[in-house]
Structure 1
Amino acid sequence: MIVRARAPLRLGLAGGGTDVSPYCDVYGGRVMNATIDKYAYAILSPSESGQCEFAALDVGVSETHACGAIPEQGGALQLLKGVHARICRDFLSGEARPLKVQTFSDAPPGSGLGSSSTMVVALVQAFVEHYSLPLGEYEVAHLAYEIERTDLKLAGGKQDQYAATFGGFNFMEFYADDRVIVNPLRVKDWVWSELEASIVLYFTGVSRASADIIDQQAKNVVEGKQTSIDAMHRLAQEAVEMKESLLRGDLDRLASTLQAGWEAKKKMANSITNPLIEEVERLAFAHGAHAAKVSGAGGGGFMIFMCKPEKRIGLTRALAAHGGRLLDFHFTQQGATSWRIM
């Protein structure tokens, strides 16, 4: 039997960063995001070698270990090995069974689309299918969060795991003790279509490690740096405003909220923006964009631009001429899913 699973990547529309501890534990975080039709994939299949095999197909890295051995953590395969170890510990009485675990993604690590956390969700979903584990959506997302943040000690927030698991347009609330509330939004079809026609996704060509940025954000909260804390308060409020704009179909207010959120986010840590991002932003505004932000923690990855649909062609041509890469996408309602091939 072969099990396949996929989980959708997400666009962070507002409130990103307020889902990171300790801010969300003290003040409560608010995030507005939406998933798109780009995915992280996981495949579980029988091991012909009788061992535990791990392979990240998109980066061409693989390892094979005796099932009784404890693989060294870290490296390009840390997500695969980390999920496998946690599933064995929690659900298989610590027994590692022969299995081939393979992954690939539609986006590179450091893209700002939540690719690493989405991959963990896809892996967890694949194991849930393979072993018929009794886990619902909240349990899958929370387990993925614990594996990434506690087991592997990777810095980050909570929104990506829940976005990938639930799918769709979601307003999320984050509180102390890992309490999370996911509020799915019923976005009107015309708003959905207009938003797809108005958003341009541009990859800067620079993948960045978000951990340093996130660590700086957390440090600013711990040290009580009021400029950063006030910026996070504004981001949380703008997530609420983004939700209202989507539900009302007020795209002008949505664009102004997106831009205001980006201006606030830049005050959370010094490395969120840089000369490359600012250069691309100026170029985009000169060719029809009226709102911009970096998706994810900042520092690189994908940039989100909003423009009137009739300005889209001119904007995309200008960005394409600058270098980098444009990404066509559609929003998707479906979250993590898995299936079996007998």
Structure 2
Amino acid sequence: MKVIFDARDKGVTECHAFGTPIDSSFGLRLHRGIFNRFLEDGVLSRSTGVTIVTTADALAGSGLGTSSALVVAMCEAMREYAGAPLGRYELAHLAFEIERRELRLAGGKQDQYSAAFGGVNFIEFFDQDRVIVNPLRVHRNILLELEASLVICFTGLSRDSDAIIDAQISRIVSKDAGVVEAMLSLKEAAFAMKRALLAGDLCAFGDTLNRSWLSKKSTAATISNDLIERLLKIGHDAGAYACKVSGAGGGGFLLFMTPPERKSELIGALNVAGGEATPVRLTEDGVEAWTQP
């Protein structure tokens, strides 16, 4: 019996003997870590082989939470396959534990909960791994206007988020006053954006996004660079009134807000400048898995 990992987007296939944990310090680490956890928890039978095939539309290191979304998706698929009784909170926490604690990949836990739950949420994180996902009851018209106002643009750079996150953590641990103040500002921005969204004030929402970008930039020198600043300026000149780099920064995707009537102009200007800009779709659904009939 064999366990096969087939990462189609990477063009990598691995074949291992089934029944014992697999070294997850190299290779397809996410696949190996998930398999090991489900095997060690007794969820998978040690007498049955399994093939896991994956593909991702967004590159790892793009700032869109691709790695965490992939971990959540694979965990949900394994849960469905094995009939494991895991709810959304348990699934997100399991994905967090595998990615951050067992594989020791740098990052937070917001991506796992966003992927598991979907929708528009205000997520609160507390001590002792307590998390509360609060679905926001935003009027449909506001969500449609927000969706029509959003554009994302790939810079063409896939970056190593670990180095940026490690630099931020180092400055926080050393109690760097500037970084601590910036992190508190980012926290307050989340509350302000929640209030603005519920009220349908997208201008205030955008203003807060701009302020949070300035706070984010001050937490590590490598979050922005000449390419990012050039694309952000081009976006502003083409009608965007708010912008921010998604994820850790240093590359990946940029997020813009623009009046809907100027969206095509913004996308065109960013694409001419060498970016890869597209509209955004909001979804109410989180991770889904099904058994083939």
Question: Which TM-score tier does this pair reach, normalised by the shorter chain?
Answer: over 0.9
Deviation, structure 1 residue 94:
8.2
Deviation, structure 1 residue 120:
0.3
- Structure 2's unaligned 5+ residue stretches are none
Partner of 2:191: 240
| Distance across 2 between alignment mates of 1:57 and 1:153 | 24
Q: Aligned match of 2:122 in 159, 171, 185? A: 171
Partner of 2:142: 191
- Structure 1's unaligned 5+ residue stretches are 1-49
Aligned pairs (5 A) from 1:152-163: 152-163=103-114
Partner of 2:285: 334
Deviation, structure 1 residue 127:
0.9
SS in structure 1 at match of 2:124: strand
Partner of 2:77: 126
Partner of 2:40: 89
| Distance across 2 between alignment mates of 1:90 and 1:162 | 21
Aligned pairs (5 A) from 1:1-342: 50-92=1-43, 95=46, 97-342=48-293
Aligned residues: 293
| Distance across 1 between alignment mates of 2:25 and 2:66 | 17
Q: Which amino acid aligns with 1:116?
A: S
CA displacement 1:146-202 (0-9 Å, x = unmatched)? 000111110110100000001001111112221111111111111111111111110
Deviation, structure 1 residue 74:
3.7
Q: Which amino acid aligns with 1:153?
A: R
| Distance across 2 between alignment mates of 1:249 and 1:147 | 38
Aligned residues of 1:55 and 1:77 also touching (Cα < 8 A): no
CA displacement 1:6-56 (0-9 Å, x = unmatched)? xxxxxxxxxxxxxxxxxxxxxxxxxxxxxxxxxxxxxxxxxxxx3100011
Aligned residues of 2:150 and 2:280 also touching (Cα < 8 A): no
Q: Which amino acid aligns with 1:195?
A: L
Q: Which amino acid aligns with 1:82?
A: G
Aligned residues of 2:151 and 2:277 also touching (Cα < 8 A): yes
Deviation, structure 1 residue 59:
1.1
- RMSD across aligned C-alpha pairs, in angstroms? 1.4
Aligned residues of 1:89 and 1:95 also touching (Cα < 8 A): no
| Distance across 1 between alignment mates of 2:91 and 2:20 | 26
Q: Which runs of 4+ in 1 moved over 6 A?
A: none
CA displacement 1:51-87 (0-9 Å, x = unmatched)? 1000111111010011145433244511111101100
Worse-matched range after superposition: 53-62 or 94-103: 94-103
SS in structure 2 at match of 1:53: strand
| Distance across 2 between alignment mates of 1:207 and 1:192 | 30
| Distance across 1 between alignment mates of 2:48 and 2:223 | 43
Aligned residues of 2:217 and 2:223 also touching (Cα < 8 A): yes
| Distance across 1 between alignment mates of 2:47 and 2:105 | 23
SS in structure 1 at match of 2:61: coil
| Distance across 2 between alignment mates of 1:176 and 1:125 | 25
Aligned residues of 1:56 and 1:76 also touching (Cα < 8 A): no
Partner of 1:22: none
SS in structure 2 at match of 1:183: strand
Seen in structure 2, the aligned counterparts of structure 1 residues 146 and 96 have a Cα distance that, compared at 3 Å, is farther
Seen in structure 2, the aligned counterparts of structure 1 residues 341 and 104 have a Cα distance that, compared at 3 Å, is same
Q: Which amino acid aligns with 1:212?
A: A
Q: Which amino acid aligns with 1:185?
A: L
Seen in structure 2, the aligned counterparts of structure 1 residues 292 and 97 have a Cα distance that, compared at 3 Å, is same
Q: Which structure shows the bigger proportion of residues in strand conformation?
A: 1
Superposition TM-score, scaled by structure 1 size: 0.83
Partner of 1:3: none
Once the two structures are aligned, what percentage of the paired residues are identical? 46
Seen in structure 2, the aligned counterparts of structure 1 residues 101 and 186 have a Cα distance that, compared at 3 Å, is same
| Distance across 2 between alignment mates of 1:267 and 1:141 | 30
| Distance across 2 between alignment mates of 1:97 and 1:81 | 16
